[in-house]
């Protein structure tokens, strides 16, 4: 099916739905690199106008990546619920935008239609929305998950404590972990990106965090971000695995580049469930994504990078994840060139994930060769806080010394909590108060009151 739109005396023609979607995307360097972006702002506007008139039903009849050759497409189509779709089946993409922004469309309505939405529908409507639209609609759609605590409640925001170390030094990681806990971070999880990917090193880190968690009865969850096959092996050897991690993408070929398939993710999910380590729930998968991953693997098939990204959320929701993290600026300026593109992508990812029922967080970040700085990250942090983000990152000084990129710090989490009145996961906040780290309102107490935890931690770490 082709599409046309006339502006003035010029008529723009778009060969198929895939081309129309790409041309309607906001400007970003990755689509330009792939050769799928609009050639001008006028062409982009024409594509948006044409896209607004496309019936949502079209996305069920015209696959951007063929059903026969891609298991993600098969997942999307096979899992689609006609019953959930019925409420909005008469709408065009433009009508759908208006429906989402209507004051009568609430969380219950958005929850009812979740199983009827495909990632392509959601990506399409996001291309018609301003930043404030993305914030407004995402804020309406909380996604709540549970393992040892509860993440995603309205009015709450959690933090993944990321205590990475360039040599996986256990004491160095433990020191960063304690630092973050003293700032009230860590309710999303304590998650380590290991410098070494061997099973012995991974198990050592898992044992360290679990020993600390049990000793101080911390109601949080741990994760060592290794390949899913390593996690399965660790589970088989009896390691204390809480959350099961994997990077995912939106096409079968891109996922193959990560060394995974839907069947392997199912195996990992079942392995995690078999441990029964959750106390308040059993959401246990942790996925990371990023716009541009399919393009970097030459596995995008001419689909724009944002639509590929949203297809990854369909993969994620299949496995009832605890957290999904769009690592928005990490892949680099080849895909998101500057602070403006990173900001837009972060808001898109959060909106699209929430609409698909995925518990979205964001690593609000950039690499040092991007045209971005910490002020850009402050802006995105604030916007995502308003939008109802499930979690952000907490990194010492906002500078990851192992991965060499810039993210958000423990102090940044305090800032956004203060200005927006956001609380932590309730079980974690109760623990912080019991440890005299925060008061009943969630505000940090003076460091002098933290002596019980600090003194005990010194003994635990073997520090004189």
pLDDT tens, 187-246? 999 999 999 989 999 999 999 999 999 999 999 999 999 999 999 999 999 999 999 999
The pLDDT, as a whole number, for residue 274 is 98
**Mean pLDDT on 63-82:** 98
Tell me the pairing of strands 189-192 and 222-224: parallel
Residues 145 and 280 sit within 8 Å (Cβ to Cβ): no
**Reported confidence tier of residue 253, pLDDT bands at 50, 70, 90:** very high
The pLDDT, as a whole number, for residue 184 is 96
The pLDDT, as a whole number, for residue 464 is 46
Q: Is the pLDDT of residue 452 over 90?
A: no
**Reported confidence tier of residue 142, pLDDT bands at 50, 70, 90:** very high
Closest CA to 304 of 107, 27, 80: 27
Cα(44)–Cα(128) distance, integer angstroms: 11
Cα(13)–Cα(6) distance, integer angstroms: 9
**Reported confidence tier of residue 20, pLDDT bands at 50, 70, 90:** very high
Cα(219)–Cα(64) distance, integer angstroms: 43
pLDDT tens profile 113-133: 999 999 999 999 999 999 999
**Mean pLDDT on 430-450:** 88
The pLDDT, as a whole number, for residue 453 is 73
Q: Is the pLDDT of residue 369 over 50?
A: yes
pTM of the model: 0.96
**Mean pLDDT on 414-424:** 98
DSSP for 300-357, written as a single string: -TT--HHHHHHHHHHHHHTT--SEEEEETTTS-TTTS-BHHHHHHHHHHHHHHHHHTT
The pLDDT, as a whole number, for residue 350 is 98
Cα(175)–Cα(461) distance, integer angstroms: 9
**Mean pLDDT on 419-425:** 98
Residues 142 and 154 sit within 8 Å (Cβ to Cβ): yes
**Mean pLDDT on 30-45:** 97
Q: 3-state class of 82 per DSSP?
A: helix
DSSP for 347-367, written as a single string: HHHHHHHHHTT--EEEE--B-
Residues 7 and 41 sit within 8 Å (Cβ to Cβ): no
Residues 36 and 47 sit within 8 Å (Cβ to Cβ): no
């Amino acid at each position: 099916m082709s599409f046309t739109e006339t502006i003035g005396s010029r008529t723009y023609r778009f060969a198929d739905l895939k081309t129309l979607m790409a041309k309607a995307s906001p400007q970003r360097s990755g689509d330009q690199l792939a050769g799928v972006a609009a050639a001008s702002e006028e062409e982009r506007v024409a594509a948006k106008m044409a896209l607004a008139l496309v019936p949502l039903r079209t996305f069920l009849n015209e696959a951007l990546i063929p059903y026969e050759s891609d298991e993600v497409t098969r997942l999307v189509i096979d899992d689609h619920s006609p019953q959930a779709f019925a409420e909005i089946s008469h709408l065009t993409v433009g009508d759908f935008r208006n429906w989402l922004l209507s004051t009568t469309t609430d969380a219950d309505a958005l929850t009812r239609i979740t199983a009827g939405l495909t990632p392509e529908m959601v990506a399409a409507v996001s291309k018609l929305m301003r930043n404030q639209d993305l914030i407004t609609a995402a804020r309406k759609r909380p996604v709540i998950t549970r393992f040892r605590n509860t993440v995603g409640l309205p009015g709450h925001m959690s933090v993944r404590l990321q205590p990475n170390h360039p040599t996986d030094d256990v004491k160095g990681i433990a020191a960063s972990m304690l630092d973050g806990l003293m700032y009230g971070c860590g309710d999303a999880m304590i998650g380590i990106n290991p410098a070494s990917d061997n099973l012995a090193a991974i198990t050592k880190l898992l044992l360290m965090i679990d020993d600390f968690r049990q000793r101080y009865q911390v109601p949080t969850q741990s994760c060592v971000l290794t390949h899913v096959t390593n996690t399965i092996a660790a589970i088989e050897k009896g390691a204390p695995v809480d959350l099961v991690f994997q990077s995912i993408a939106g096409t079968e070929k891109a996922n193959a580049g990560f060394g995974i398939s839907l069947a392997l993710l199912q195996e990992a999910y079942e392995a995690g469930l078999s441990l029964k380590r959750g106390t308040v729930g059993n959401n246990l998968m942790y996925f990371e994504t990023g716009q541009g991953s399919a393009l970097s693997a030459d596995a995008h098939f001419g689909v724009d990078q944002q639509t590929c990204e949203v297809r990854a959320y369909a993969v994620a929701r299949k496995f009832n994840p605890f957290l999904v993290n769009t690592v928005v600026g990490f892949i680099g300026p080849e895909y998101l060139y500057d602070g403006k593109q990173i900001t837009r992508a972060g808001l898109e990812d959060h909106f699209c994930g929430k609409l698909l029922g995925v518990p979205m967080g964001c690593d609000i970040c950039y690499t040092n060769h991007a045209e971005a700085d910490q002020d850009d990250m402050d802006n995105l942090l604030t916007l995502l806080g308003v939008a109802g983000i499930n979690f952000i990152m907490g990194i010492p000084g906002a500078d990851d010394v192992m991965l060499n990129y810039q993210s958000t710090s423990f102090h940044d989490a305090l800032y956004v909590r203060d200005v927006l009145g956001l609380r932590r996961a309730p079980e974690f906040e109760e623990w912080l108060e019991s440890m005299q780290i925060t008061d009943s309102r969630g505000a940090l107490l003076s460091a002098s009151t933290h002596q019980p935890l600090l003194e005990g931690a010194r003994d635990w770490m073997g520090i004189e």
